């Protein structure tokens, strides 16, 4: 079939080590003209001849003998061929509706759909529906349930407890879409996808403005002194009449003076007290309203930052459901080239210039921490190597999900000859290099060849100079081990590359190479990880996004058939769309 003929060459790069399958596909290509009418039994025959035997051949979980033609089978780049056993549940089987996604932690991107009346137990035990390999998770940690009344979460007596939006869950708790749950060292989110809910959201309304806090009323000291003329008035009047008439009884008027003063003082005290009560009432009402507006604004800010960044496990979810947000970040967007590296309690950007007593620097719970690879430069990831690799896998899925392969190219330099850590990247369109190669190198000669190519890119761009627009495409280079390159080569790539849109991400247990602009230090799950860079202060207590090879592979395979479509103007703004080959 025509579709098959287009994908076979690029499949060969993704099927390295599976020569039998590759040969079977090539045999079909050579034997048939390649139309949608090609019989599926031809593929089955070639696979059997290549040594595949068993109960049946399946493509993406669908039995080969269930359709008559390859066109009906829907075989595309990224499809998985299996023989024997039960059909695997593929990404196409994820229904519209609700799901629980591991946003950050040891198994970012793991997800399970939510079905009404079917509770989902989260834990690390074999009996949990959502089983997460998290050392701080109890065997049966919490349960999430979708019912006609809404979404609820309940802790199951876990050792470390369940936290929803920063508050402990002590009894069944009603949660909303987008709410984040902290369980062990993992962060979960409840998400939803519907047919009409897949639009790109870019022209966002401004965040609510809480305004300035009210000013505390100034103290109003009591004035006991009368105006001098009011105090002397009775005295002058009484003395005057007494002198003119000779009747000293008028001097009695003088006795009125203390009474007048007392009445005036009492009246003023009452007026002052009424004014103070009213001012205090108005101030307290204004202050309560201000705190409400400030909390609402910061809650909106938190949800906005989560929505805009959409990294870690959310990126893998977007890839698996082929969300319309795939490849949404265009070069003129401010978050172009940014990746999510962790989640944590991060500072709010909404801070009034003058704060009332009791206001402390606000931090937002469960907020993604993004690293602008283009704006800041090369990134170093340190810590246990298997966890550092898992964090970088999550970054690549984030990049591959939200950036078009037209704008971002991914390179991987590794010593992993078996490919177990980075094989998933072969499916990302961002690593394709012609029809028969990928930008992955696991041997010395291959790494040298890729480094030479990268140096040529940097040199040519340096000669041309930088204009007013961003240099495209951006090249993101993963270096799995700082000892893979010579010190001079590594420093040249990390230091000289970023100004020309060639940015490195290094992985090493302890070494932060010269030229790295930011460092993510993977730490103990209890204490959390930390991040610091030239442009950002030290942030501690982070939950990094770590993705297993299996989760990354599934997400990458869902992106594999997609190809960039022609960009067009939408509502006066450029947008990005995808099409499947």
In the chain, % of residues over pLDDT 70: 67
472 near 447, Cβ under 8 Å?
no
Cis peptide preceding 473, ω within 30 of 0? yes
In this model, does residue 128 exceed pLDDT 90? yes
Phi then psi dihedrals of residue 146, to 5 deg: -105, 125
Distance CA 581, CA 563 (A): 7
Residue 31: pLDDT over 90: no
Percent with pLDDT over 90 in the chain: 40
How far is Cα of residue 86 from the mean position of the Cα atoms in its chain? 35
Residues 553-561 have a mean pLDDT of: 89
* Average confidence (pLDDT) over 297-305: 88
Taking residues 172-191, report their average pLDDT: 93
Please report the pLDDT score of residue 159 as a whole number: 95
Residue 397 CA to residue 108 CA, distance in Å, equals 11
- The edge-to-edge listing of strands for the beta sheet with 379-382 is 363-372, 338-347, 539-544, 529-533, 518-521, 379-382, 502-508, 474-480, 408-413, 440-441
More confident site: 444 or 245: 444
| Mean confidence (pLDDT) of the chain | 78
State the pLDDT at residue 73.
Answer: 62
pLDDT band at 437 (very low <50, low <70, confident <90, very high): confident
Helices H, strands E: what count in the chain? 12, 28
SS3 of 440, please? strand
pLDDT in tens, 460-495: 988 887 544 458 899 999 999 999 999 889 988 999
Q: Is 524 helix (H, G, I), strand (E, B) or coil?
A: coil
Q: How far apart are CA 52 and CA 43, in angstroms?
A: 11
pLDDT score for 67: 63
Residue keyed to tokens 């946003």: 103
Which of 397, 317, 339 shows the shortest CA–CA distance to 113? Answer: 317
**pLDDT of 433:** 86
pLDDT score, position 300? 87
Look at residue 75 and tell me whether its pLDDT is greater than 80.
Answer: no
pLDDT at 95: 66
pLDDT of residue 286: 84
Q: Is the dihedral of CA 80, 82, 86, 87 positive or negative?
A: positive
Best-predicted range by mean pLDDT (378-392, 411-425, 561-575): 378-392
Question: Residue 500 pLDDT > 50, yes or no?
Answer: yes
424 pLDDT band, cuts 50/70/90, is very high
Residues constituting the chain: 581
Q: Is it the case that residue 370 has pLDDT exceeding 90?
A: yes
Q: How high is the pLDDT of residue 281?
A: 84
Lowest mean pLDDT among 122-126, 225-229, 252-256, 550-554: 225-229
What distance in Å separates the CA atoms of residue 281 and residue 287, rounded to the nearest whole number?
10
Q: Give the pLDDT of residue 204.
A: 44
The pTM of the full predicted model, rounded to 2 decimals, is 0.76
CB 551 within 8 A of CB 110: yes
Q: Does the structure show a pLDDT above 70 at 180?
A: yes
Q: Is 50 exceeded by the pLDDT of residue 573?
A: no
The CA-based angle 10-14-18, given to 5 degrees, is 115
Closest CA to 392 of 531, 556, 545: 545
- Given the structure tokens 């595949």, which residue do they identify? 52
């Amino acid at each position: 079939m025509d579709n098959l003929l287009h994908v076979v060459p690029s499949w060969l790069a993704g099927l390295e080590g599976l020569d039998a399958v590759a040969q079977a596909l090539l045999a079909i290509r050579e034997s048939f003209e390649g139309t949608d009418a090609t019989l599926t039994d031809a593929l089955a025959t070639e696979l059997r001849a290549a040594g595949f035997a068993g109960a049946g051949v399946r493509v993406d979980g669908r039995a080969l003998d269930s359709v008559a033609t390859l066109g009906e089978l829907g075989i595309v780049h990224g499809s998985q061929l299996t023989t024997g056993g039960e059909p695997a549940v593929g990404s196409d089987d994820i229904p519209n509706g609700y799901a629980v996604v591991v946003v950050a932690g040891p198994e970012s991107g793991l997800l399970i759909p939510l079905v009404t009346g079917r509770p989902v137990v989260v834990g690390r035990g074999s009996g949990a529906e959502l089983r997460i390999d998290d050392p701080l998770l109890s065997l049966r940690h919490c349960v999430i349930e979708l019912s006609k009344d809404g979404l609820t979460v309940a802790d199951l007596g876990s050792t470390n407890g369940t936290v929803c939006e920063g508050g402990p869950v002590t009894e069944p708790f009603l949660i909303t879409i987008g709410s984040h749950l902290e369980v062990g060292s993992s962060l979960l989110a409840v998400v939803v996808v519907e047919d009409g809910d897949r639009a790109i959201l870019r022209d966002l309304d401004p965040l609510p403005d809480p305004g300035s806090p009210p000013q505390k009323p100034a103290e109003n000291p009591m004035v006991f002194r009368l105006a001098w003329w009011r105090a002397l008035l009775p005295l002058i009047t009484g003395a005057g009449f007494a002198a003119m008439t000779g009747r000293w009884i008028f001097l009695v008027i003088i006795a009125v003076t203390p009474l007048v003063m007392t009445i005036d003082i009492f009246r003023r005290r009452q007026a002052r007290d009424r004014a103070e009560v009213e001012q205090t009432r108005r101030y307290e009402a204004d202050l309560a309203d201000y705190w409400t507006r400030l909390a609402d604004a910061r809650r909106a800010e938190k949800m906005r930052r989560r929505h805009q960044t959409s990294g870690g496990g959310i990126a893998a979810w977007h890839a698996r459901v082929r969300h319309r947000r795939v490849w949404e970040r265009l070069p003129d967007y401010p978050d172009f080239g940014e990746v999510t590296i962790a989640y944590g309690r991060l500072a709010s950007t909404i801070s009034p210039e003058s704060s009332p007593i009791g206001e402390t620097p606000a931090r937002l719970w469960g907020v993604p921490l993004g690293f602008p690879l283009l704006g800041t430069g090369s990134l170093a990831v340190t810590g246990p190597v298997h966890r550092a690799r898992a964090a970088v896998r999550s970054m690549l899925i984030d990049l591959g999900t939200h950036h078009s392969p037209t704008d971002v190219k991914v390179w991987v330099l590794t010593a992993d000859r078996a490919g177990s850590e980075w094989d998933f990247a072969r499916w990302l369109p961002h690593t394709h290099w012609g029809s028969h190669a990928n930008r992955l190198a696991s041997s010395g000669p291959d790494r040298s060849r890729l480094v030479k190519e990268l140096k040529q890119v940097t040199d040519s761009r340096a000669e041309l100079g930088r204009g007013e627009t961003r240099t495209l495409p951006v090249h993101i280079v993963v270096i799995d081990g700082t000892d893979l390159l010579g010190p001079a080569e590594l420093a040249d790539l990390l230091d000289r590359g970023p100004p020309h849109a060639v940015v490195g991400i290094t992985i090493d247990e302890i070494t932060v190479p010269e030229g790295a602009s930011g460092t993510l230090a993977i730490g103990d799950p209890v204490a959390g990880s930390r991040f610091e860079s030239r442009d950002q202060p030290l942030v501690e207590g982070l939950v990094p996004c770590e993705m297993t090879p299996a989760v990354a592979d599934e997400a990458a395979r869902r992106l594999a058939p997609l190809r960039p479509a022609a960009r067009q103007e939408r509502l006066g703004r450029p947008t990005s769309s995808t099409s499947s080959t």
